[in-house]
Amino acid sequence: MKIFAIGDLHLGHTVDKPMDIFGPQWKDHAGQIAENWRERVLDTDLVLVPGDVSWAMRFEEAEEDLQWLDRLPGRKVLLKGNHDYWWPSISRLRDHIRGTSLFALQYDAITIGGASVGGTRLWTMPDLEIPYEDPLEIPSTEGQGASAMPPDEKIFRRELGRLKLSLESMGREAGLRIVMTHFPPTDESGKDTALTRLLETYGVDLCVFGHLHNLGLPRGRTWDFVKKGVRYVLASCDSVDFAPYFLAEIPDIQEG
């Protein structure tokens, strides 16, 4: 089984949201993605989609985008991004996509073909240097002092707790342990953060994220580096040239 990632599809089959206002490279971006996808991905493969799936505001409006994704080859794992307003409750979404090639993740984990995939959306980091000595000591967002906390930091801390929840539910025996986040857990230098320490502590092999756009990276050169045993890959669709980005190949294990 080959594993790929491509995030920030920003699909808009039912909403009028042309993406080429962000640059000529975005022209018919969904068409480019579909063509590249069909060239690379087989039905037995796995494609990770770390957030910003659709521009739809309501669940019903996202239906066409979800069907479009389902028709593409491979099994796909979706994560909610900051623009996915259409994303309903996880139980409603899972009921809806049951039996399709789509899977949804919400600060839990699923195992597909020997790879365990966990993840949460995250948020902008209040400060990359945020000094949490022990990554397992997730600071509380309740009680004394919480009301004085800037809203961004409150959301960030809640997401840190959700990441921990997800890491704890990941399959211990999996051949590959992958975490998807929408917001990046670190910067392009792999700077040490509360999030990177958490990923290291839980023995994550690979962390895939998106959200960042139009970084002006040289063609075909996204962030892809290993820091303290964890590989970090930026897979927003424009960073990976609108093509599913190859991450790894592992023997496919059929779940019982």
Residues that bind Fe ion (CB under 5 A): 8, 52, 81-82, 211
Task: CB nearer to Fe ion: give 199 or 212.
Answer: 212
Whole-number minimum distance, CB 88 to Fe ion, in Å? 19
Q: 246 forms bridges with which residues in the sheet? A: 4
Nearer to Fe ion, 102 or 212 (CB): 212
Least Å distance, CB 233 to Fe ion, is 16
6/16 Cα distance (integer angstroms): 22
Q: Which is nearer to Fe ion, 40 or 80 (CB)?
A: 80
Shortest Å distance, C-beta 174 to Fe ion: 27
Q: How far is the CB of 100 from Fe ion (least distance, A)?
A: 23
Residues 181, 96: Cα–Cα separation, whole Å: 23
CB of 82 to Fe ion, least distance (A): 4
Which residue number, 32 or 100, has a Cβ lying nearer to Fe ion?
A: 32
Cβ distance to Fe ion smaller for residue 56 or 138 = 56
Q: State the DSSP string of 162-218.
A: HHHHHHHTS-TT-SEEEEEESS-SS-TT----HHHHHHHHTT-SEEEE-------PP
User: What's the token pair of residue 248?
Assistant: 């790894």
